[in-house]
Amino acid sequence: MKVGLFIPCYVNAIYPEVGVATYKLLTHLGVDLDYPIDQTCCGQPMANAGFEDEALPLAKQFEKQFEKYDYIVAPSGSCVAFVKENYPRIMEKEGHLCRTSGIIYDVCEFIHDILKVDKLPGKFPHKVSVHNSCHGLRELHLSSPSELNIPRYSKIKDLLSKVEGIEILEPQKVDECCGFGGMFAIEEQSVSVCMGQDKIKNHMATGAEYITGADSSCLMHMQGIIKREQHPIKVIHVIEILSAGL
């Protein structure tokens, strides 16, 4: 199978180490990986701000860049969810049948559901508290939303459990939003910060050294609060843990 690697713009600009870790791990796992050099933003910021028509050219560009692959993989639950859930409707406006929405996966979802790995290469001898981002939780089903009252599962925890030396923890209110929410953090800044402060307190109460999750945007939001308030906890993308040692 041929896999196209999609690196969202904020990962490329602010957290390039997450993109590098994704590439390293997937190639280590034997994936035939390609990185289309002309890829652009998926259009999520425009659509979230109410300018969905401006996302259409980017959706068409994305489709052109990635439709030739068997799978598309990205280290960002929100961007993956946007392509998967919104591209078909956006592209239908021009009578285009979207193919990429059916083949895109969050990297954790891809490793867990498609590759079905039974071991991972690295060691991470630290306590980590798992953060469930809203898009990953409720649109990509990386873990079980509590409101559905279904048996608990977490694909992220399953993968982390294959890393040597790690201690996996979870905060109270495990699937409550951290307050980022894309445009919400801009339009309702004060509420967003309060939600982030509450979330960080719950993560810190576990005794964890790190907060980890599958979406750098949520981690970025919490990292900003942590730095301003000088809390003794760090953030790290889950893919950086899964690829530790490579």
Q: Per residue in 69-80, pLDDT tens? A: 999 999 999 999
pLDDT digits (tens, 9 = 90+) for 137-196: 999 999 999 889 999 999 999 999 999 999 999 999 999 999 998 788 888 989 999 999
pTM greater than 0.75 = yes
Model pLDDT, residue 172: 95
CA distance 117 to 215: 21
- What confidence category does residue 43 fall into, taking pLDDT thresholds of 50, 70 and 90? very high
Selection from 48, 119, 118 nearest residue 86 by Cα? 48
Model pLDDT, residue 111: 98
Q: CB 171: neighbour CB atoms within 10 A?
A: 22
- Ramachandran assignment for 43, one of left (phi > 0), alpha (psi -120 to 50 degrees), beta (any other): left
Which parts of the chain fold into alpha helices (H)? 9-14, 16-28, 44-48, 52-66, 77-92, 107-109, 134-138, 155-160, 184-187, 189-204, 216-229, 238-242
The helix (run of H) or strand (run of E) holding residue 1 is none
Contact 176, 199 (CB under 8 A): yes
DSSP states of 33-94 as a string? EE--TT----SHHHHHTT-HHHHHHHHHHHHHHHTTSSEEEESBHHHHHHHHHHHHHHHHTT
CA distance 244 to 117: 16
The secondary structure of residue 223, as a DSSP letter, is H
Residue 90 structure tokens = 């956006």
CATH of domain 127-242: 3.40.50
CA distance 88 to 98: 5
**Cβ neighbours of residue 100 closer than 8 Å, sequence gap 6 or more:** 62, 63, 66, 67, 72, 83, 87
In this structure, what are the phi and psi dihedrals at residue 76, rounded to the nearest 5 degrees? -160, 105
In this chain, the answer to whether the domains covering 2-115 and 127-242 adopt an identical fold is: yes
Residue extents of the structural domains in the chain? 2-115, 127-242
Length of the chain: 246
Average pLDDT over residues 5-16: 94
Kindly state the percentage of the chain with pLDDT values over 90. Answer: 88
Torsion of CA 242, 179, 141, 44, to 10 degrees: -90
Selection from 177, 107, 104 nearest residue 137 by Cα? 177
Model pLDDT, residue 14: 93
Selection from 111, 105, 101 nearest residue 27 by Cα? 111
Residue 7 structure tokens = 């690196």
pLDDT digits (tens, 9 = 90+) for 208-235: 999 999 999 999 999 999 999 999 999 9
CATH architecture, domain 2-115: 3-Layer(aba) Sandwich (3.40)
